[in-house]
Structure 1
Amino acid sequence: MPTSPLSPELSVNALSERIAMRLVDDAARLRIAVSRTPDGTVILDAGIGAMGGVEAGVLIARLCMGGLGRVAVRMTTDANPLWPRMIEVHTSSPVLACLGSQYAGWSLSATKEQTGGKKFFSLGSGPARALAGKETLFDELGYRDRHDSGALVLEVDRLPPPVVIDKILRDCALAPDKLTLVVTPTHSVAGTVQVVARVVEVALHKTHVLGVDLSEIIEGSGSAPLPPPAPEATQAMGRTNDAILYGGRVHLSVKSDAVARRLAAELPSSNARDYGRPFADIFTSFNYDFYQIDPALFAPAEVWVSSLESGATYHGGKIDMALLDAQWSGTSTPHAGGVQPS
């Protein structure tokens, strides 16, 4: 069994290139708007001026995972379903797909002087992160990609200004016509899909924060309810986070029994100090500062971890459907920072 969690011969940008091309070729059907900068960089609008949709969101989620993950939407048919529509994710390369590509870790910003108007900020996710390697995470992973094209996803409600595009091109060492940028606001349908599809990535990131050797992680699968988007940005962000923190389920396969036991006990979001309130309310109470929130909260609600060493599977955490129902059902009314039962 390999000692490294990553396969250096795999290029997340090469593997996802066909997905980026499909987004362009099928743009009209996917309700995506395609534009190009004067130098040829492709910009895909999946929720600002364009409508986008669930299918676009699924493809964008697959792009984010560097072509190393399966993402699907399933209608639940159970007598008492958790939620009508569920996002399901699987990857046999969980560390590379989730941390080496999907994780939103590249900070991209510009001042209002640089943009000639409003300041800009977005976190970049997707395979082009591995070309730039600007995050210390890539040093820890021991992975850098080398490819002549790349794609990056920006979760923001405006198109990136030229100064930010130029920075991405420089840091990725790409020709302008070899870069594809996808923009998906959280309050859009596609944006909601691609964020909820991070359910396994959230588990991998929490595993990394816990200091677990990432070479232990062999397979990852997960599911989370797909809520309808909220029109207001904080509410929309709250819904996508709540879907994972209170409705996300993940199954990991790991090498050793000790790691399986530890992750089952420590991974679930219920270990966090701030657990039990809607995320939008938590975010508002900390004056919109992510770094004040207990980092242990960013995890799936429920986990199963199987040990290849012993064959045993350990379980931890639980779903809180009552909290999600109170936030998403039609009997709720908006209030500052979120929604609550009327």
Structure 2
Amino acid sequence: MSGVLNERACLLTEQLLARAGELKVIPHALQNGAIVVDCGIETPAGLQAGLLLARICMADLCHIQLIPGELEGLSLPYLQVQTDHPVEACLLSQYAGWKIDVDKFFAMGSGPMRAAAEVEDLYRVLGFGESPDKTVGVLESNTLPGVDVVEKISKATGVDPKDIVLLVAPTSSIAGNMQVIARSVETAMHKLLECKFDVHRVQAGFGTAPLAPVAKDHLTGIGRTNDSILYGGSVTLWVTGDDESLLEIGPAIPSDSAACYGKPFLDVFAEANHDFYEIDPSFFSPAVIIFQNLDTGNVFQFGQMNTGLLKNSFGF
């Protein structure tokens, strides 16, 4: 299959690179020709960089913006995401399903490079893959990757290092904070997939989540960004098909269906020895899920917000 997701993301990445100074991101050319873009480690990349980073992560099959909001009377921006291509944008591109672990470097890998690598079972389940000439990936990390990391990605994707661009941002940065919180719809879609729901029934997705204050360190940032979606995220999905299956699966989708619900994410993360992939996967979902059935006209809502926990997590 051709590289539609990678093509779209690469076009947007070219715009980011052309505006590097304005966006306050720093591109680095590695010896093997790859480009690594610092989006928040040694540079204060800002709101516009964060929005572009999130769009690239979703292969630009989305619309993302900041909107005004509040948390128990306190003014707080919210990140709003919408897509008419939820399977492609969220599952096949945005989901952070590739664990990049090379020597002392570790990152959560997301973006359309995953579709070129196809190292996750998700691509076999959904019957999708790409063979692009160029690829771009987003790495959640507080250190920049070196040549060895690019070589691993090159081997997995079949893309020459000189045609690879990696965008890197820690959660303790404005842009990194935003790209994680832009995953409200993605978490709902992935939860549905984990629950064996036919995700192709989902025609569109809309989600909001509070933009957490940028944390002073990477670990605290991981806690705040995840809490934002787990306890403050609301997602609406437009679906086709019968109502009975929605009523049956609905209670299992929001975060309150997990046994560890009610704990700050950092506590759950510590119990899993700081390994995302050891956490109960049922926990990664929005606080509230709303299904709008296009065939029957019926609407179903499940889950609950936990604003008190959010205030504590955010330091209010």
TM-score range, shorter chain: over 0.9
Alignment partner of 1:55 is 2:40: no
Q: Which deviates more, 179-188 or 279-288? A: 279-288
Q: Structure 1 pair 83/225, CA: closer, same or farther in 2 (3 Å)?
A: farther
Equivalent residues in 2 for 1:206-285, closer than 5 Å: 206-256=191-241, 257-285=243-271
Alignment partner of 1:324 is 2:310: yes
Question: Which residue of 295, 317, 322 corresponds with 2:281?
Answer: 295
Equivalent residues in 2 for 1:1-342, closer than 5 Å: 11-76=4-69, 83-111=75-103, 119-256=104-241, 257-330=243-316
Q: Secondary structure at the match of 2:213?
A: coil
Give the TM-score, by structure 1 length: 0.87
Q: Secondary structure at the match of 1:246?
A: helix
The CA deviation at 1:64 is 0.5
The CA distance in 2 between the partners of 1:220 and 1:139, in whole Å, is 23
Tell whether the 8 Å contact from 1:82 to 1:225 is kept in structure 2 after alignment: no
Letter in structure 2 aligned against 1:23: L
The CA distance in 1 between the partners of 2:98 and 2:275, in whole Å, is 18
The CA distance in 2 between the partners of 1:288 and 1:179, in whole Å, is 29
Q: Which deviates more, 96-105 or 260-269? A: 260-269
Q: Which deviates more, 9-18 or 234-243? A: 9-18
- The alignment's C-alpha RMSD in Å is 1.8
The CA distance in 2 between the partners of 1:283 and 1:83, in whole Å, is 28
The CA distance in 1 between the partners of 2:178 and 2:25, in whole Å, is 15
The CA deviation at 1:263 is 4.0
Q: Which deviates more, 244-253 or 28-37? A: 28-37
The CA distance in 1 between the partners of 2:286 and 2:51, in whole Å, is 20
Q: What is the percent sequence identity of the aligned residues?
A: 37
Q: Which deviates more, 292-301 or 313-322? A: 292-301
Letter in structure 1 aligned against 2:87: V
The CA distance in 2 between the partners of 1:40 and 1:47, in whole Å, is 22
The CA distance in 2 between the partners of 1:102 and 1:286, in whole Å, is 23
Tell whether the 8 Å contact from 1:222 to 1:251 is kept in structure 2 after alignment: yes
The CA distance in 1 between the partners of 2:80 and 2:249, in whole Å, is 21
Q: Secondary structure at the match of 2:232?
A: coil
The CA distance in 2 between the partners of 1:264 and 1:81, in whole Å, is 30
Q: Structure 1 pair 81/264, CA: closer, same or farther in 2 (3 Å)?
A: farther
Q: Structure 1 pair 283/107, CA: closer, same or farther in 2 (3 Å)?
A: closer
Letter in structure 1 aligned against 2:98: W
Tell whether the 8 Å contact from 1:260 to 1:313 is kept in structure 2 after alignment: no
Q: Structure 1 pair 130/79, CA: closer, same or farther in 2 (3 Å)?
A: closer
The CA distance in 2 between the partners of 1:326 and 1:50, in whole Å, is 28
Letter in structure 1 aligned against 2:255: S
The CA deviation at 1:99 is 0.7
Q: Structure 1 pair 301/169, CA: closer, same or farther in 2 (3 Å)?
A: same
The CA distance in 2 between the partners of 1:128 and 1:10, in whole Å, is 10
Tell whether the 8 Å contact from 1:227 to 1:328 is kept in structure 2 after alignment: yes
Tell whether the 8 Å contact from 2:57 to 2:93 is kept in structure 1 after alignment: yes
Q: Secondary structure at the match of 1:250?
A: strand
The CA deviation at 1:195 is 0.2
Tell whether the 8 Å contact from 2:72 to 2:307 is kept in structure 1 after alignment: no
Give the TM-score, by structure 2 length: 0.94
Q: Structure 1 pair 193/79, CA: closer, same or farther in 2 (3 Å)?
A: closer
